[in-house]
Amino acid sequence: MTSGPIWKQMLLFAVPLLLGEVLQQLYAMVDSVMLGRLVGSAALAAVGAADSVVNILVGFFTGLSVGCTVVIAQIFGRKDERQLHAAVHTVVAVTFLCGLLLTGVGVALCRVILRLMDVPGDVLEDTARYLTIYFGGLIGLVMYNIFAGIMRAVGNSRQPLHFLFFSSALNIALDYVFIAGFRLGVAGAAYATVLSQSISALLCFVLLLRTKEPWGFSFRERIETNFIRAMARHGVPIGLQKTINSLSNVILLSAIASFGTNVLSGYTIYRKVHHVSMCVTTAIGSAGTTFISQNFGARDLNRCRRGLLVTLSLSMLLQAFLVVLTLLFHEPIIHLFGKDEAMFDSARTILFTIMWAQLLHAVMITYVSALRGYGHATRGTLCMIGGLVVGRQIYLTAVRLWANGLRAVCFSIPMGWIIAAALMIPSFYSLDRRHQREFSEEKND
């Protein structure tokens, strides 16, 4: 990615990522659709509550994997094959150990977290059952994310997509078997997800073992502490930001849950739609991070800036299209999830309150991706915390004291995006000017 037409490279790299993100969200949506139609709105609410708990614990390790991707992309941009091989081995080994730790923590703490969230009693047991199964098989998800991240860092976004196509089809088939066939309800959805994710991880791992490229994995390498420090420097701020943001969302979910199970189910429908829409910003943002990381490693800031503009343009255009499409066809979308009209009323209210602001989400993700590509994830993390945690919670606290309506509570979501973007944009350009001076001095020396 350090030479050639930017639009073409970005699209070729982002499209497989986008398809992969969409596939992951679609098979998650199939879980919800089948639960809503075959089991009921309470099962749908249970999965919605479970997602928030998953994000608290998984978010930190997802952030670590993003940091690992940045480290590997920068080494790849410098064309240092020896360091690349050693970095891949260290990243895989450390992620596996962290995944085992996460599994134990998740199983042990899931019920404690649910009680702190004040999850309604009629969905508490189903939510706890789902989480126990999900965390029990979480190592598959953790390892797939890091394997796919390694491949994306070196410009290979297609092969993880092939594996994901297979596992997505398998997940949908297993949903029918476990939910419709064996009538396992929420537990069946968890079993289907865990099995399909584990197979994706296994296929990616086999590819890394068999490749002769310098980014292949070998059991003969040793873990090198300098790469662990680099992973921590880039990944821990992102992981903390994701975890803290997830805690903020749990507080929001607690406010939503206070309106009752039907509103919680409606909010779950919005979250599923939001996740599909977010695929665009996530995929293009990931492509932007990889592009900027490689060119930053090559010391080409002008190309980094042009990559940022392409990332922002693509993300905004596609997001605008999806927002219009969702609002035009919101009725058939929400009716996929069951037959409860009270749940549908809540989903309509939440969708029309928040969906327009997906454009702001695209701006925020573009700039935090650029900061990560420059190797300054901490700045992005502080801005995200300022908007998504501090700003959002101040707004939410005020609303719950003086105007505790559903629309007002839901508006805390775009409010957080607005504040984070307002903090992030000047921070990025200040950093860009500083690196311009530093690279000019390096060149003169």
Confidence bin at 263 (pLDDT 50/70/90): confident
Give the number of other CB atoms < 10 A from CB of residue 12: 14
Give the number of other CB atoms < 10 A from CB of residue 423: 20
The answer to whether residue 405 is domain-embedded is yes
Range 215-222 average pLDDT: 79
**Which has the higher per-residue pLDDT, 8 or 365?**
365
pLDDT at 414: 92
The answer to whether residue 28 is domain-embedded is yes
Helices (H), 211-300: 225-257, 261-297
Range 132-160 average pLDDT: 85
Which of left, alpha, beta for 340 (phi over 0: left; psi -120 to 50: alpha)?
Answer: beta
Which CA distances in Å does 29 have to 65, 103, 171, 271, 417? 24, 24, 11, 10, 24
- Cα atoms in the 13 Å half-sphere on the side-chain side of 63: 26
Residue 414 contacts residue 274 (beta carbons within 8 Å): no
Classify residue 387 by its DSSP letter.
I
At residue 375, the 3 state secondary structure works out as coil
The answer to whether residue 414 is domain-embedded is yes
Range 181-200 average pLDDT: 89
Write out the residue range of the structural domain in which residue 417 sits: 14-444
pLDDT at 27: 67
Range 100-121 average pLDDT: 83
**Whether the predicted pLDDT of 155 surpasses 80:** no
The answer to whether residue 48 is domain-embedded is yes
**pTM for this entry:** 0.71
pLDDT tens, position by position, 299-334: 888 999 999 999 999 999 989 998 999 999 989 988
The answer to whether residue 8 is domain-embedded is no
The answer to whether residue 6 is domain-embedded is no
User: Encoding tokens for residue 402?
Assistant: 């003086």
**Whether the predicted pLDDT of 429 surpasses 90:** yes
pLDDT at 129: 92
pLDDT tens, position by position, 330-368: 899 888 887 778 888 888 999 998 988 889 999 999 999
Give the lowest-confidence range in 2-16, 180-194, 318-332: 2-16
- Cα atoms in the 13 Å half-sphere on the side-chain side of 290: 28
pLDDT tens, position by position, 388-398: 888 988 998 88
The answer to whether residue 320 is domain-embedded is yes
The answer to whether residue 2 is domain-embedded is no
**Which has the higher per-residue pLDDT, 295 or 253?**
295
Cβ neighbours for 115, distance < 8 A, ≥ 6 positions apart: none
Q: How many domains is the chain built from?
A: 1
pLDDT at 421: 93
Q: What is the mean pLDDT of the chain?
A: 84
Q: Which of 384, 330, 383 is nearest to 356 (CA)?
A: 330
Spatial distance between the Cα atoms of 307 and 73, rounded to a whole number of angstroms: 15
**Whether the predicted pLDDT of 235 surpasses 90:** no
